[in-house]
């Protein structure tokens, strides 16, 4: 790899291993000669040691370097390998779900490590010897991109997880989409490094004179924009891009430049002429639009009041500038605005988006009260009436004392006892309530005895249905209420100072529907609905009063329905079974 900047040229050779080299010049030609590496001796422990460069840490064989595994804040797995030098040879590739790292001249502690408990895409780390080096296999699951970079004597391999939602990006998270590249440099100047990245991406680059220094880095298989971001962050630099031109300078210079531009823009706004215009509001209320503009401008102004350098930005984002003024004409439903031309354009654009006709919703509710009655009754009445004499006495028997009294009076008058009235002749009298639908009567009259018997039966069935159907129409997002009924007066007696006084209060017994609709983007309707049906029950008034109880039926819920669809909100099923026996 070759790079030229500032009248200097840098040539980088990527070698598979450290080897001796020589440099010679002949006129304008420069020759670099690489000599074969010396043979390595193998010790009894199996660790190869170079015989010509044993004291050079860049070429000396690493003896059992340690590794570590950690979990990053974003959930990715990081494998940390300690090396003896900052430029350790390495090859990395992916085979299926495994990531294989070959370290030709680095011997790492062998073994198989289970790292599932770290909750990263890496499940196992398998380290095996390979020639004079080691091979590390990372067994992954749901792994995304992977990259490797080296800082001083530490080699870091990072494996990221596949995002659950490829289209989502957390606030403040950087997303890199550039073409991937590999950079391996030792103590390279920043300016030619930036030029290399610009050449790779095809972008133009302008570098400030204050950008200086050098950096050592090892980045493998990383997006170019991420590599650029790492370089800028490491050296305290920032970048601004305009088209395909990148401007790189120290962060402090970039901040000072942005601040100067904002202050100049704010000063331009302060000197801009004021224009007066009338904005007609067609569907909304001018007062509502005015309050929205005022509240939005005050909120932005208050948020930026305590932050240095934010004034120009806030002024650009606020709808009303510091010099602007708005007056509401309620008669014509208009806004009279005095402000700069740019502020007027912002306000007109906002009004155009907000001042639209609001859709309406017609809600019809039906309250159905169904009753089903069934009754069955069986009645019996029987009695025995008779007279008799013996031992000079007269005996009489019948249904009650009224019957026997009538018979005694007749005998005392010298006439026959006679037959009492039917109602007084029954010894057992349990008739049905109401008119019977079927019956049987039997009377047996003997010489001195009369037997009366009556059987009656009743079976009734009844069903009823009461339907109430209130309707109401309202605009989207606005509550609506419709009610119909009566107010029942209640008299209460209060005693104060020994004097009683009556006060009258009223309680409502109404049929009402209260609903707030919300139209969704797919034309469904979400409703907060409250349906109530109250009615007085005059059949169950308290004794001695004219105050009836109020039967209440109410349902309050929130539902989503399709346009034109009917939904059942709820219901109450009440069953009452009564069995009465009179003996």
pLDDT in tens, 231-268: 888 888 988 888 888 899 998 888 888 888 888 877 77
- For residue 526, what pLDDT is reported? 92
Residues 74 and 120: their CA atoms lie apart, in Å, by: 9
CATH of domain 67-161: 2.60.40.3470
Taking 3-state DSSP, the helix, strand and coil percentages for the chain, each rounded to the nearest 5, stand at 20, 50, 35
Angle between helices 341-354 and 286-304 (to 10 degrees): 130
| 540-571 per-position pLDDT tens digit | 887 777 788 888 888 899 999 998 888 888 87
Residue 46: pLDDT band (50, 70, 90) is very low
Q: Quote the tokens at residue 441.
A: 């009567």
- For residue 479, what pLDDT is reported? 92
Q: Give Dmax over CA atoms of the chain in angstroms.
A: 176
> Are residues 380 and 391 in contact, defined by beta-carbon separation less than 8 angstroms?
no
Percent of the chain with pLDDT over 90: 7
Which segments of the chain belong to CATH 3.30.1370.120? 180-259, 275-297+318-357
Which segments of the chain belong to CATH 2.60.40.3470? 67-161
- For residue 136, what pLDDT is reported? 92
Residues 228 and 190: their CA atoms lie apart, in Å, by: 11
Q: Quote the tokens at residue 110.
A: 């062998």
When the candidates are 3.30.1370.120, 3.40.190.10, 3.40.50.720, 3.40.50.1820, the CATH number that belongs to 275-297+318-357 is: 3.30.1370.120
Helix (H) or strand (E) holding 159: strand 154-161
The CATH-assigned architecture of domain 180-259 is 2-Layer Sandwich (3.30)
Residues 472 and 551: their CA atoms lie apart, in Å, by: 24
Q: Quote the tokens at residue 406.
A: 């009538």
> Are residues 221 and 182 in contact, defined by beta-carbon separation less than 8 angstroms?
yes
| 467-508 per-position pLDDT tens digit | 778 888 998 888 999 888 888 888 777 777 778 788 888 888
What integer is the mean pLDDT of 118-143? 88
Q: Quote the tokens at residue 121.
A: 């895409």
Residues 323 and 149: their CA atoms lie apart, in Å, by: 55
Q: Which residues contact 169 (CB under 8 A, 6 or more apart)?
A: 175
Give the chain's mean pLDDT.
79
Residue 49: pLDDT band (50, 70, 90) is very low
> Are residues 561 and 567 in contact, defined by beta-carbon separation less than 8 angstroms?
yes
């Amino acid at each position: 790899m070759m790079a030229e900047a500032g009248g200097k040229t840098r040539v980088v050779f990527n070698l598979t291993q450290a080897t001796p080299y020589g440099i010679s010049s002949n006129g304008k030609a420069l020759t670099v000669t690489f000599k074969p590496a010396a043979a390595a001796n193998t010790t009894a422990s199996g660790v190869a040691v170079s015989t010509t460069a044993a004291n050079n840490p860049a070429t000396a064989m690493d003896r059992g370097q340690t590794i570590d595994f950690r979990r990053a804040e974003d959930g990715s797995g990081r494998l940390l390998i300690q090396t003896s030098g900052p430029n350790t040879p390495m090859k990395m590739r992916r085979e299926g779900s495994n990531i294989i790292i070959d370290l030709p001249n680095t011997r790492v502690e062998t073994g198989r490590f289970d790292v599932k408990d770290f909750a990263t895409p890496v499940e196992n780390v398998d380290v095996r010897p390979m020639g004079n080096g080691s091979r590390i296999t990372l067994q992954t699951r749901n792994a995304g991109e992977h990259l490797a970079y080296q800082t001083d004597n530490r080699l870091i391999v990072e494996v990221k997880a596949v995002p659950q939602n490829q289209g989502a990006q957390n606030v403040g998270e950087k997303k890199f989409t550039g073409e991937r590249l590999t950079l391996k440099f030792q103590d390279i100047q920043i300016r030619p490094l930036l030029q290399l990245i610009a050449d790779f991406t095809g972008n133009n680059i302008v570098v400030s004179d204050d950008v200086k220094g050098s950096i050592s880095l090892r980045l493998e298989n990383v997006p170019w924009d991420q590599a650029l971001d790492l370089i800028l962050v490491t050296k305290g630099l920032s970048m601004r891009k305009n088209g395909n031109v990148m401007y790189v300078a120290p962060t402090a210079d970039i901040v000072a430049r942005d601040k100067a531009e904002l202050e100049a823009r704010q000063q331009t706004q302060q000197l801009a002429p004021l224009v007066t215009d009338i904005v007609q509001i067609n569907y909304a209320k001018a007062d509502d639009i005015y309050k929205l503009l005022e509240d939005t401008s005050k909120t932005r102004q208050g948020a930026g009041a305590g932050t240095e350098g934010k004034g120009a930005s806030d002024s650009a984002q606020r709808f009303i500038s510091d010099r602007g003024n708005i007056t509401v004409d309620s008669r014509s439903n208009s806004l009279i605005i005095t402000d700069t031309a740019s502020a007027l354009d912002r306000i007109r654009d906002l009004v155009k988006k907000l001042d639209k006709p609001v859709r309406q919703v017609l809600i019809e509710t039906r309250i159905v009260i169904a009753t089903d009655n069934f009754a069955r009754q069986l009645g019996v009445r029987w009695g025995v009436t008779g007279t008799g004499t013996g031992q000079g006495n007269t005996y009489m028997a019948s249904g009650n004392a009224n019957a026997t009294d009538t018979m005694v009076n007749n005998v005392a008058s010298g006439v026959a006892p006679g037959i009492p009235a039917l109602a007084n002749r029954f010894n057992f009298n349990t008739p049905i309530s109401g008119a019977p639908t079927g019956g049987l009567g039997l009377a047996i009259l003997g010489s001195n005895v009369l037997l009366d018997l009556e059987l009656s039966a009743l079976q009734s069935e009844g069903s009823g249905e009461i339907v109430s159907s209130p309707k109401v129409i309202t605009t989207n997002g606005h509550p609506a209420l419709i009610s119909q009924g009566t107010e029942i007066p209640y008299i209460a007696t209060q005693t104060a100072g020994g004097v009683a006084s009556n006060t009258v209060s009223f309680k409502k017994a109404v049929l009402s529907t209260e609903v707030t609709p919300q139209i969704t983007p797919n034309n469904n309707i979400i409703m907060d609905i409250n349906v109530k049906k109250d009615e007085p029950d005059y059949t169950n008034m308290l004794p001695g009063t004219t105050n009836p109880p109020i039967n209440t039926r109410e349902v309050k819920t929130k539902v989503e329905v399709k346009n034109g669809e009917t939904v059942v909100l709820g219901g109450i099923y009440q069953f009452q079974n009564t069995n009465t026996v009179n003996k």
